Amino acid sequence: MKIFFVLWWKYYILSFAVILIVETTISLFLPSTLPFTLLEILFAFLAWYFLSPVLLTIAFRGTKSNDENLLRYVSYASALLNFRKGVHVYEVNEKFLNAMAFGNIIYRAIAVTTPLKETLNERELVAVLSHEIAHLKNMDTEIQWIYILLINLVYVYLSYETSLIYSGIVLLFGVLLMFPLHRYLEKRADITASYTTNWIAKYLGDALVKIGYLSTQLPTYIIKEIPEFQIFYIKQSLIYSNRNGDNSFFKTHPPLNERLKYLNEIDTKLNFTQYT
Ligand SMILES: [Zn+2]
């Protein structure tokens, strides 16, 4: 998990560099009045938005996947979500289990780490890919981009019009609120994916048990061999444990037990309601 964190930092440093370079370059040609400064910010953020897939593949050292099976699972997940836009598929050769969606309106992509596709079974992998495609379908990158852009525009506006302290406080709150926004988008992607068909919620839960819990305890070649009924018991114990260790404000994802709990509820709702 630590390595994953470092890779994100690499991406944020690259992003910050792009924004700073574009902003500074434009500012050389424009007067430093409020309207022009706001325009500079807008252009710098547009540059970042369009360059973000390149920055992300550099930071994560992602390579285009030519794994036929993986590409087929991505097509299958896209079909489940009725997502008709082309998705580029990348592989990240790191030791942790993870997947992510990234890109912009002209280049949409998903990246999967090599151990993830090797550890999850077919259905778990499709469920995780559906969660990632749900991010693309829900336009989560764009929502977060607009949010960050707005915080910056408000910050610049306030620093021109009011005091630096006041604008700084607003900026700080804006940045802090990015965490609950991110968690909300994660939950929404889980829900969007789960309602596509009746088995996604169950297998997304199983995959999360492996990604979020087992991979911190066991090597991948052991996780791979754990039978489904055993995953079921581990999942139940996680749901009913009040392990709130990861229940922090600064988390980008909802706590594992909370995610498993609502996925379990959706699974029950979609599969067992006829018997109750
Ligand atoms: Zn996600």
Q: Is the pLDDT of residue 2 over 60?
A: no
pLDDT band at 242 (very low <50, low <70, confident <90, very high): low
State in Å: Cα 135 to ligand 1 middle.
Answer: 7
Please tell me the predicted confidence (pLDDT) of residue 152: 94
Q: What is the pLDDT of residue 249?
A: 79
Q: How far is the CA of 34 from the centre of ligand 1 (A)?
A: 36
| Integer Cα distance of 23 and 156 in angstroms | 13
Q: Is the pLDDT of residue 71 over 60?
A: yes
Task: Name the band, by pLDDT with cuts 50, 70 and 90, for residue 246.
Answer: low
Domain residues of the chain, as ranges?
2-275
What residues are neighbours of ligand 1 (ion), with CB under 5 Å? 186
pLDDT digits (tens, 9 = 90+) for 97-112: 999 999 999 999 999 9
Tokens of 180: 């609950």
Element holding 226 (H helix, E strand): none
Distance CA 33, CA 16 (A): 22
155 vs 174: CA distance, rounded Å: 9
Band the pLDDT of 164: cuts 50, 70, 90: confident
pLDDT in tens, 219-233: 999 999 999 999 999
E strands, the chain, are 62-64, 88-92, 99-103, 108-113
